[in-house]
Amino acid sequence: MAENLFNKPLIRVENLFKIFGENDTKKPTVNAIDNVSLEINRGDVMVIIGPSGSGKSTFLRSLNLLEQPSSGHIYVNDVDITDKNVDIDKHRQKMGMVFQHFNLFPHLTILRNLTIGPEKLQGRSIKDAEREGMELLERVGLADKARSYPNQLSGGQKQRIAIVRSLAMHPDIMLFDEPTSALDPEMVGEVLEIMKDLARSGMTMVCVTHEMGFAREVGTRILFMENGRVTADGAPDEFFNNPSNPRLRDFLSKVLQ
């Protein structure tokens, strides 16, 4: 059974569309995702790149239904989560998400940020959740901040906390939306290190990022999006060394210089 599951893709996206403004006649409609179909396998570290407004965030947020798709299907472990009868909250527990602006809970201590999910949603005891929370904090070198509040942390520290907050839920996949874009340059490294560690540990990851070094080093698959479509999809080597798409070449030349 487990063997069987392992051979199947973790996520399968079928003919996904997202049209903004379809219910509002006053605004122009935007085809943010325009017929995307793809599969994400266990252990994949997928890096999504593309120009601004190409639909990267929208696609990522559709994967856990923070953005409700206009049409199409998303299967997680063969369950169609776009089905109205599916308990989406249960699935979201297994799909960690890291935001550009961290979105830590400012009224809770760092440790509480990590334990509230496992305790309230997964029925773990506080003691158990705190023990694991402390382990995770140690893993990212922030155990001494357990009793601090988010506003007492630097940006890089906040993002590391945001990552372990998701990890505390034991997710099957982690979604990152430009996790280093809001950071001062000297803090980018510490966050990328955590992400690389995570990738090496075998976590399935989908990352929207402009960090090409990260993509080259740990990425197993690179996606290039333009106007809501995926126009290139391949392994990092061929992607970076031999890009066939002229617009991709153009894009890479800009971000790599």
Partner 1 sequence: MKKHSSMRRTFAVLLIIGLVSAMFMALPVFAGSDGTEKSAQTIFGLEDLEGKIVGVQTGTTGDIYISDDAELKLKGVERYNTGFEAVQALSQNKIDAVVIDDQPAQAFVAQMNGLTILDTEYVKEDYAMAVQKGNTELLGKLNEAIAALQENGTLQTIVDYYIDHSGEGYSSPKGAEHPNGKLVMATNAEFPPYEYYDDNNEIVGIDADLAMAIGDYLGYEVEISDMKFDSIITSVATGKAQFGMAGLTVTEEREQSIDFTNPYYTGKQVVIVRKSAGAQRETIIDRFKRNFVQAGRWKMLLSGLGVTLVITLFSTLFGVLIGFVVAIIRSTHDKTGGLRILNIIAQVYTTVIRGTPTVVQLLIIYYVVFASVNIPKIIVAVIAFSMNSGAYISEIIRSGIMSIDEGQFEAGRSLGFNYAQTMRYFILPQALKNVIPALGNEFITLLKETSISGYIAINDMTKVGDVIRSRTYDAFMPLVTVALVYLLLVFIFARLWGVLEGRLRRNG
Ligand X SMILES: Nc1ncnc2c1ncn2[C@@H]1O[C@H](COP(=O)(O)OP(=O)(O)OP(=O)(O)O)[C@@H](O)[C@H]1O
180 binds Mg ion (CB under 5 A): no
Residue ranges in 160-179 that form contacts with partner 1 under rule CB under 8 A: 165-166, 169
For residue 102, the minimal CB distance to ligand X (Å) is: 16
Q: Which of 15, 29, 37, 103 binds partner 1 (CB under 8 A)?
A: 103
57 binds Mg ion (CB under 5 A): yes
54 binds Mg ion (CB under 5 A): no
- Cβ proximity to ligand X: between 20 and 240 the closer is 20
Task: Please tell me the distance from the alpha carbon of residue 136 to that of residue 238, in angstroms, as a whole number.
Answer: 36
58 binds, among ligand X, partner 1, Mg ion, none (CB under 5 to 8 A by kind): ligand X
For residue 245, the minimal CB distance to ligand X (Å) is: 17
Task: Please tell me the distance from the alpha carbon of residue 14 to that of residue 183, in angstroms, as a whole number.
Answer: 34
Quick check: 228 and 32 in contact, CB under 8 A?
yes
Quick check: 225 and 55 in contact, CB under 8 A?
yes
- Binding to ligand X by CB under 6 A, coded x per residue (else -) over 166-185, reads --------------------
107 binds, among Mg ion, partner 1, ligand X, none (CB under 5 to 8 A by kind): partner 1
64 binds partner 1 (CB under 8 A): yes
Task: Please tell me the distance from the alpha carbon of residue 155 to that of residue 148, in angstroms, as a whole number.
Answer: 14
| Tokens standing for residue 210 | 């402009």
Query: What SS3 class is residue 144?
Result: helix
166 binds Mg ion (CB under 5 A): no
Query: Which residue type, as a one-letter code, is found at position 182?
Result: A
1, 113, 114, 152, 239 from 104: Cα distances, Å? 38, 7, 10, 12, 35
Task: Please tell me the distance from the alpha carbon of residue 217 to that of residue 111, in angstroms, as a whole number.
Answer: 31
Q: Which of 36, 55, 112, 168 binds ligand X (CB under 6 A)?
A: 55
Q: Which one of 56-64, 128-136, 146-154, 211-219 is the stretch in contact with ligand X (CB under 6 A)?
A: 56-64
Dihedrals phi, psi of 230, to nearest 5 degrees: -95, 110
Interacting residue ranges for ligand X, rule: CB under 6 A: 20-21, 30, 32, 50, 52-58
